A and B are shown apart, each in its own frame.
Chain A
Amino acid sequence: MRALVVDDSRTMRRIVADILGDLGFDTSQAGNGREALDMLEAGQTFDVACIDWNMPVMDGLEFIAAVRAQHEWSGLTLIMVTTEGERDQVVRALAAGAHEYLMKPFTPDALASKLGLLGLLPVEESL
């Protein structure tokens, strides 16, 4: 399974990529929505993208809207991972087409639980 991590913070990209790597994903990174879109347009494919909201050049909401506007990318699951914590922001993100929403700060098992909800993890429970 392949994952794309989109965040302008190198620190956050690394943290998310580490968690995804531990869960068995091959990960790639992009520093903003525009870079991420360029990767998709160049033909790279992913199963899931974890996207920050506030980024320069193209923010996460714009990226999500752009992905959902293209039928060829309909297989890409979109998880917003952001500091935006108001209920209305969650509503906006879901309305734009995000499949899930994870608020910073978060723990590794919180991200894992979101992937589980989306059916992206093997069905296996451990205590």
Chain B
Amino acid sequence: MSITIAVDARHITAIATEVFAAMIDRETGLLTPWPGGPMTVADPLHAWVDLCTVPASRLQLTTDAVTAADLTRAFLTLGEAEPVTEADVVDAFGELANVLGGSIKALLPEHVAHTLPEVSRQSPSDAGAVRLNEARLAWRGRPLVISLWRI
């Protein structure tokens, strides 16, 4: 079964909802489908893990840098105004991609390994990667995209 069939946008959304409810918000309702209309991510930050499917694929998380910092605070149960370093954000945002990637992996019929997470302001999927599926979400109203790529 191809990864496109096993993992569609609804699956991605369902998994993200569980992850956020358990470990980010500790309640439901704060991560919702993007209400529609244009979605622009200014000053984007990307986190991803590559899945060792054949052909290889990638689970990528994209939001703006300010939201990534807020996600980090939520993940670490810090207050809204508490400072977080860039290293904190890289680690937390990367771990979020790791948890999402691992959960999505479990939908596949056969076990595959996945890479350790990476984080960058440059999308790794600009050249050559083909977008398979994508969930456009709003976290506390901010844009968040979780996309699946063939690489």
Contacts and interface: CB of A to CB of B under 8 A. Distances in A.
Interface of A: 8-12, 14-15, 18, 54, 56, 82-86, 88-89, 104-107
Give the interface size bracket for B toward A.
20 to 34
A54 B26 contact: no
B44 to A, nearest CB: 20
Contact of A86 (B19, B22, B99, B106): B106
A54 B26 CA distance: 25
A91 B7 CA distance: 24
Q: Which of A9, A18, A83, A85 has the most CB of B within 10 A?
A: A83
B102 A104 contact: yes
A104 B99 contact: yes
Given A11-B75, A106-B22, A88 B111 contact: yes
A8 B116 contact: yes
Question: At the interface, is chain A mostly helix, strand, loop or mixed?
Answer: loop
Interface stretch (B35-43, B89-97, B120-128): B89-97
Interface of B: 18-19, 22-23, 26, 72, 75-77, 87-88, 91-92, 94-95, 98-99, 101-103, 105-106, 111, 113-114, 116
Contacts of A11: 72, 75-76, 88, 91-92, 95
A8 B117 CA distance: 10
A108 B143 CA distance: 27
A82 B26 CA distance: 19
Contact of A84 (B19, B76, B102): B102
A85 B112 CA distance: 11
B91 A10 contact: yes
A107 B98 contact: no
A18 B101 CA distance: 24
Contacts of B76: 11, 14-15
